[in-house]
Structure 1
């Protein structure tokens, strides 16, 4: 006589409740394994979130390059920017930067010291990843007509203007007047740096004021963070081909973060292996308990087969029992790790958000191990001869 699905589930529940010690030990094994796997995934997720937060606080990942040559001089030219734009296919944006090094910005009776005013090309914001908060960035007309306009960052705006709107205000650097036309967000150059004032003007105006055609550095932003080291090599190679015998100095602003990511990858893999081993050990425990259960319940299996239970139902009963215990242990582990993670994240100001995909992966691994561990004993149980099983009592 075939059992209805609900009756089969009820039978599984009664069987598990009938031996609480065995069920508890099996669930504990699953709990420990899932907890290890889920904790590893949570550490990895939070670590990557910390890296993303660090990247959001600094200017976009980019490569900078200086060039020195006894023959060509110590400065790059704007023509080199165009040269690289035509040849760097893996670059998202390129811009030129040239400093004036005046040191302070004055507005009425207020002064912000320690600011390096810089002339920048038109793609500077795309390279740096900064956003306009007020006003606008330089137009082509500003470059063409050498307009005495400036863009400042939020740090400089608060120091100079406090609550006043900076747009349209006139500021001075070494007696030279500039009209503020835009404010961008404040971002540090690299991890660990402190926020500081920023002041930018059209690079054509900077060259006119300094009577120079050279630029200090060319900044190149990659499409992906992972490409920055290869892009750095390509930039250096291209400029050395253009200026043979020169010395190129390249750098990037994410070296520490790249090293942190590599360390994280290695650590995550090691911890994940440990977690999977713990889960497999739990699976071995489930298999041992399942084998013992088959031996202990042999008369029950014989009786059920004698009154019409099919081999499929016997096998499904053992598999469903494993699924139920895996679900209980897995869900308990996920809830526990989630609660601990929330507590730790609040204590240490770490970015954390419950990830359903991570939870599903951990729970799925528990189910896979549970079903895999009990499958062979379940098949053996379903193939028992009813007569021999009844005689074993």
Structure 2
């Protein structure tokens, strides 16, 4: 007659408690392996959170293109709105594309306040391309471009410097004696150590002032971060085909972050391999100790078989012992790694959130290795001849 699951669990626990040294060594082996796997998963999660935080603090990931100066012809190509449409049609994975003209800084006046901010002339979708959200007001519209309206968007720093607590929206400011209406406010660039303020006008209005309808550089925002480098390569090829003989500079705004991400992923992968090896070593330890337990307890196995225990009962008991050792060692490892990670994250101000999914992966791998390691010794124990086992 087979034993109930509760009786099997009770017998397994009694056996493990009766051999504390053997059980302790097995638990330590599993603990080391699961701790290595769990720590690797935590490192990967923290690194991903750090990368996400760095991306969130700056502008959206973008790739940019600017024509190079030809030293022989003393000329360089210029972009225009048709180039934006051309790239939009030919490239895949583009979330937004826009152009910008770099203008010289100009004196800006509002009542008795003055400033000398940076000036930028931008095409539609510029704010979407750089990932900037308005603090107040609105963005440029198609009508602003079609009707050549003298409207501007300023950053918070300039708004504070010029308006001193007055609501800037709808107010007129003068740039080189021309009036402009403030329609929107965006956050100040966090990368500016010493901000001077920034003003954005439409390329349409800029062309009416200068007669120049070209674009200095093109920026492209990908739909996914993984597409950034591919967009940079493909965009460069398309522009060189469109302008034979011309060369272009290309760059992306998160190159350092991407390199950091690759390094962290490589380190995490290497650590995961080490953790897997450690876990397998723990499994080998469980297998060896299970084999030793089978040899040591051969008479006990014979007695149990003689009084009615089935082969399945014997096999399940040894498998349960391996599973319990794995669960205990794995649980201790997860709790320990979590505690240490919390301390380190608080000490160095890293973003950290406990993820039950990673804990489940680490613990499941421990149980799987433990049960797998104890399976064949357990099978051997269940196949022992009761008479020979009693003679043991």
Same fold (TM over 0.5): yes
Matched, 1:14 2:17: no
SS of corresponding position for 2:61? coil
Matched, 1:99 2:105: no
The answer (yes or no) to whether the contact 1:104–1:116 under 8 Å persists in 2 is no
RMSD (Å), alpha carbons: 1.9
**TM-score, normalized by length of structure 2?**
0.93
- Any stretches of 5+ residues in structure 1 without a counterpart? none
The answer (yes or no) to whether the contact 2:76–2:246 under 8 Å persists in 1 is no
Q: Structure 1's 389 and 106: CA in aligned 2 closer, same or farther, altered over 3 A? A: farther
Displacement of 1:24 after TM fit? 1.2
Displacement of 1:235 after TM fit? 1.1
1:41 aligned residue? 41
Q: Structure 1's 164 and 289: CA in aligned 2 closer, same or farther, altered over 3 A? A: farther
Q: Structure 1's 306 and 172: CA in aligned 2 closer, same or farther, altered over 3 A? A: farther
Displacement of 1:66 after TM fit? 1.0
SS of corresponding position for 2:249? strand
Displacement of 1:52 after TM fit? 0.7
SS of corresponding position for 1:240? helix
Displacement of 1:214 after TM fit? 1.3
The aligned runs of 1:334-349 (5 Å cut-off) are 334-349=334-349
Q: Structure 1's 105 and 40: CA in aligned 2 closer, same or farther, altered over 3 A? A: farther
- Any stretches of 5+ residues in structure 2 without a counterpart? none
Tell me the distance in 2 between the aligned counterparts of 1:104 and 1:381. Answer: 90
Tell me the distance in 2 between the aligned counterparts of 1:237 and 1:277. Answer: 45
SS of corresponding position for 2:135? strand
1:232 aligned residue? 232
Tell me the distance in 2 between the aligned counterparts of 1:38 and 1:105. Answer: 57
Q: Structure 1's 315 and 158: CA in aligned 2 closer, same or farther, altered over 3 A? A: farther
1:166 aligned residue? 168
Structure 1 residues 271-313: Cα deviation after superposition (integer angstroms, max 9, x where no partner)? 1111111111111111111111111111111111111111111
Matched, 1:23 2:35: no
**TM-score, normalized by length of structure 1?**
0.93
The answer (yes or no) to whether the contact 1:102–1:174 under 8 Å persists in 2 is no
Displacement of 1:240 after TM fit? 1.5
Structure 1 residues 106-143: Cα deviation after superposition (integer angstroms, max 9, x where no partner)? 44444454x32111111112211111221110111111
Q: Structure 1's 73 and 273: CA in aligned 2 closer, same or farther, altered over 3 A? A: closer
Matched, 1:139 2:141: yes
The aligned runs of 1:198-277 (5 Å cut-off) are 198-277=198-277
1:129 aligned residue? 131
Alignment: residue pair count: 388
1:82 aligned residue? 85
1:300 aligned residue? 300
SS of corresponding position for 1:215? coil
Tell me the distance in 2 between the aligned counterparts of 1:223 and 1:215. Answer: 23
The answer (yes or no) to whether the contact 2:203–2:213 under 8 Å persists in 1 is no
The answer (yes or no) to whether the contact 1:280–1:369 under 8 Å persists in 2 is yes
The answer (yes or no) to whether the contact 1:187–1:195 under 8 Å persists in 2 is no
The answer (yes or no) to whether the contact 2:326–2:370 under 8 Å persists in 1 is yes
